[in-house]
Chain A
Amino acid sequence: MYKVVSKKFFSDNVVSLDIEAPRIAKARKAGHFVMIRVDEKGERIPLTISSADIEKGTVNLVVQTVGVTSKKLAELEAGDYVTDLVGPLGQATHVEKFGTVLACGGGVGVAPLLPIVEALKKAGNKVISVIAARSKDLIILEEQIKEYSDEVVVMTDDGSYGKKGLITEGMEEVINSEKVDQAVIIGPGIMMKFASMTTKKHNIPSIASLNTIMVDGTGMCGACRVTVAGKTRFVCVDGPEFDAHEVDFDEMLSRLQGYKDQEQKANDDYSCVATKKRK
């Protein structure tokens, strides 16, 4: 059992949890993820670690409520427990001094982007971050990103905060004003697809951190497989980061929908039960 030490909402449906896991806190590096199972009936889902506190022995996870598991996570309070947490998993981010790095985070993808931005900054890079979301209340961790970035551009689809427009527009603006040596892209699949097309157009080497369906997270099930440079790779053990220009995003997006019907039904059932409980 792993104790939830603190919890706060970044917005109505984005929640940040610090969970006690001293060994993971000590071992994790930027880019690593964990598998989490909320309760005995729960499913195992992957979540990228956004930060860790070695002294307190906690890891921080940021979750957007989309399905049953993320809703259950959001309902936990400090002092509650999750049944299982295992990690750190995956390959750590390759960090070196590239020069100028463009860090692109869409929606809740800004959370896993944060430790990478921090590591890149500490490695001596100039870091320009573009963070984007549909609207102001979905922009998260802006202050923390600012701490490790030389410049931060905020984009919202509806213009309620920062500049109005898609993340790719913010990226173009940066790319047109200075030479970018490397890009890091994390966010929803569709955002990563278009952000990758943008950097490809400008020949900027890019990595994307993929968040696919996984069961075990250790290479055993193959649910997470994606095509990269024409070859099947496992996100859990080969990734989660890959050359963004070589990822078959359309296939990945299609595979993410693999259990859509079951997930939708589970979600409806869960909302129904939750409503009854509240009454």
Chain B
Amino acid sequence: MTNLTDYLKQERNAAWREELRKSKKNKERTTIERIKMPEADPGERSRSYVEVNSGLTHEQAVGEASRCIDCANPTCISGCPVEINIPKFIKNIECGEFLKAAHTLKETNTLPAVCGRVCPQEKQCEASCFYTLKLKKDPVAIGYLERFAADYEQKSGNVSIPAVAESNGIKIGVIGSGPAGLAFAGDMAKFGYKVVVFEALHEIGGVLKYGIPEFRLPNNVVDVEIDSLKKMGVEFETNFIVGKTATIDDLREEGFKGFFTGSGAGLPRFMNIPGENLVGILSSNEYLTRVNLMGAATTGTDTPVMKGKKVAVVGGGNTAMDSVRTALRLGADKATIIYRRSEEEMPARVEEIKHAKEEGVEFLNLHNPVEYIGTEDGKVKQVRLQKMELGEPDESGRRRPQPIEGSEYIIDADTVVVSVGVSPNPLIPQSLPDLKVTSWGTIEVDPDTFQSSVPDIFAGGDIVRGGATVILAMGDGRKAAASMHNYLTSKANS
């Protein structure tokens, strides 16, 4: 920790930073209003797959960057799971050094263009910004600026490839190519390891590809980041399920010295209520995978998708918002969120809820489905809903929803997307009897080193956390890489 503090202080004392700080008074900086993200028109975008947030212009970015007062004690950094040197990259933007800003991001973040789009900044860096904490004003738009710098680099055609240490010849296997696996792979490649990432699906990127829709995270943005990893020497094997296509033992025999499991929380949860297996009721994973991974909405592809006119989505997370907004883009006349708590407790990012509302999504908060009613040929046609009220807080600290007796009523729906969470994918634990798992099915790891009960296997992301965010998964991947590097180095020296 001292190292980080010293490093930050040293960077802050650089002449150009001092000069920049002096160029404008803090009083002047703090009177500037926070920039608003330019957005595609709600009416148009809700019928197309165009990215909703258009990104800042150069002038907007420089203006927003000048709000940052380059604090002596940058609290924002402690809010970032991968500890990006936030003031440094923002100050680089302020003085027009956009590529340098991108390089600063890449010192600690493998996927800045992704994080700039999907991180819940309002709960992380921006929540601990000086403006939020002390001035009670809107925080510096750190997320928008991250995206700006990363996009600038992608568009410049001059994407920097992080320096890689000389090869040590040691082979490491990564299970799953989602955010945890990619972050881990990037750092291990930097340390000089030969990294092979095994992916079960036919596309690299995990949830970034199958889960998050094009209108929020375009696939080509992800591909540029994956391409950088390839240029760093990381190899990818698609259509490869570790534990099935080959076991960990097979791979050990083939010379792999360590493994990182970032296999995610893949299994969709259902509510086990009557009628849930009717045709037209599907998990958000299925719905989004058909559209995002299989291109079901594009003409000329073979994968079909339900194009309901009255679509109900059950849940209040980002995945629920992604699903309900996808429904509009597939031509729904009515797209409704059914959520059992109130908007205040919704786990979705504030921005996604706002965008959904602008696009015409209806919200039935404090409602819960209790039964699905089908047609004679087994298709869903109605949902029986129960109204809820909030009681005392539960373990999660959120007020527990309780049903209101006698409040049931029925709404019409021809498609229902169930988005009430996921369980850990059991494929890896099933194939490794020695691996300790929790009663939830997540892999047990040391909270500091991310090492599992099997010494050469490390794990992170949703397979450990049960269900979290892209950036937390990436943070795990980075910490696991550092500690696997330590582990393998000390093993080699002993």
Contacts and interface: CB of A to CB of B under 8 A. Distances in A.
Interface in A202-235: 215-216, 218-223, 225-227, 232, 234
Nearest to A256: B279
B235 interface: no
B239 A86 contact: yes
A222 B422 CA distance: 11
Interface in B352-371: none
Interface in A70-124: 83-89
Most buried by B among A85, A88, A225: A225
Contacts of A88: 244-245
Contacts of A87: 241, 244-245
Contacts of B285: 220-222
A23 B277 CA distance: 35
B202 interface: yes
B378 A215 contact: no
Contact of A222 (B201, B240, B286): B286
B161 interface: no
A27 interface: yes
A68 B280 CA distance: 22
A42 to B, nearest CB: 5
A117 B266 CA distance: 34
A225 B295 CA distance: 22
Interface string B418-438: 000000011100000000000
Interface residues of A, number: 40
B320 to A, nearest CB: 15
Interface string A141-165: 0000000000000000000000000
B239 A85 contact: yes
Given A44-B294, A259-B304, A84 B239 contact: yes
A232 B275 CA distance: 11
B302 A255 contact: no
Interface string B386-400: 000000000000000
A89 to B, nearest CB: 6
B201 A216 contact: yes
Given A43-B294, A86-B241, A251-B277, A222 B270 contact: yes
Contacts of B201: 86, 216
Contacts of A69: 302
Contacts of B245: 23-24, 27, 86-88
Nearest to A251: B277
A226 B276 CA distance: 11
A254 B238 contact: no
A54 interface: no
Contacts of B267: 219-220, 222, 234, 237
Contact of B238 (A24, A84, A232): A84
A266 B300 CA distance: 9
Given A218-B427, A222-B282, A255-B277, A263 B304 contact: yes
B489 interface: no
Interface of A: 23-24, 27, 37, 41-44, 68-69, 83-89, 215-216, 218-223, 225-227, 232, 234, 237, 251, 254-255, 257-259, 262-263, 266
Give the 5 A-B CB pairs with smallest separation, nearest first: A262-B304, A254-B378, A221-B286, A86-B239, A43-B303
